[in-house]
């Protein structure tokens, strides 16, 4: 996507920036640069171009399988997880399936969720705790932010102000953010009967 921009940067900072293109389907002169970036290929590339003890920070971006494979490889090599950052842009359903939830909107409330968004507070009655808080919120606050609904992009992040939720999956938040009470609304389900989220915090 940014092929030309990256080439420009490489040419401008010769000696400081090294760029390697690994193409999964297009054959290249060097065998190492052709094929999937699985842990075995990543290990071989690192051994030649970036031994793990020469790297300060790792930034991994790609589909779920590639990123988690590289993370496992780095963990095995003794890299501290605090120096490994990731952005996952696609999660195949077979890697993390989720059952659909049928909601009877006329059923009595199983949980009460209070949402603060853009300075306006809304109380939402959830008929079932199996539904995600985002889905329940969208019925009355269609302005609630979201994008992937898969726990990947982080667009639906909000701060848990009170109550308790459980998240199905989280590929977007760092452990420190989770510890600080940030949750993904698209993955969150109420555990307590009352929950309050603040999107503005």
Is 151 near ligand FES (CB under 6 A)?
yes
Nearest to 65 by CA among 99, 42, 37: 37
**Residues 33-62 interacting with ligand FES (rule: CB under 6 A):** none
* Contacting range for ligand FES; rule: CB under 6 A; set: 52-60, 112-120, 153-161, 191-199: 153-161
* Contacting range for ligand FES; rule: CB under 6 A; set: 33-41, 50-58, 107-115, 142-150: 142-150
Burial 42-52 (b: 16+ CB within 10 A, else e): beeebeeeeee
Is the separation of the CB atoms in 135 and 111 below 8 Å? no
Beta bridge partners of 14: none
Crossing angle of the two packed helices 64-76 and 39-49, in degrees rounded to 10: 60
Min dist. Cβ of residue 175 to ligand FES (A): 16
Min dist. Cβ of residue 122 to ligand FES (A): 18
Residues that bind ligand FES (CB under 6 A): 146-149, 151-156, 172, 184, 186
């Amino acid at each position: 996507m940014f092929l030309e921009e990256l080439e420009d940067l490489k040419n401008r900072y010769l000696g400081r920036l090294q760029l390697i293109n690994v193409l999964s389907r297009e054959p290249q002169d060097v065998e190492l640069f052709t094929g999937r970036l699985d842990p075995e290929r990543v290990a071989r590339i690192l051994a030649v171009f970036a031994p793990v003890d020469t790297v300060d920070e790792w930034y991994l971006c790609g589909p779920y399988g590639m990123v988690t494979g590289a993370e496992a490889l780095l963990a095995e090599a003794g890299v501290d997880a605090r120096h490994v950052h990731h952005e996952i842009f696609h999660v195949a359903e077979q890697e993390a399936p989720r059952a659909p939830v049928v909601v009877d909107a006329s059923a009595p409330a199983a949980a009460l969720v209070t949402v603060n968004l853009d300075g306006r507070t809304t109380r939402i009655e959830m008929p079932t705790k199996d539904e995600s808080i985002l889905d329940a919120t969208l019925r009355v606050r269609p302005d609630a932010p979201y994008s992937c609904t898969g726990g990947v992009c982080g667009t639906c992040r909000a701060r848990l102000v009170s109550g308790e939720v459980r998240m199905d999956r989280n590929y977007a938040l760092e452990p420190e953010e989770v510890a600080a009470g940030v949750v993904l609304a698209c993955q969150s389900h109420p555990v307590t009967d009352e929950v309050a989220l603040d999107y503005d915090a």
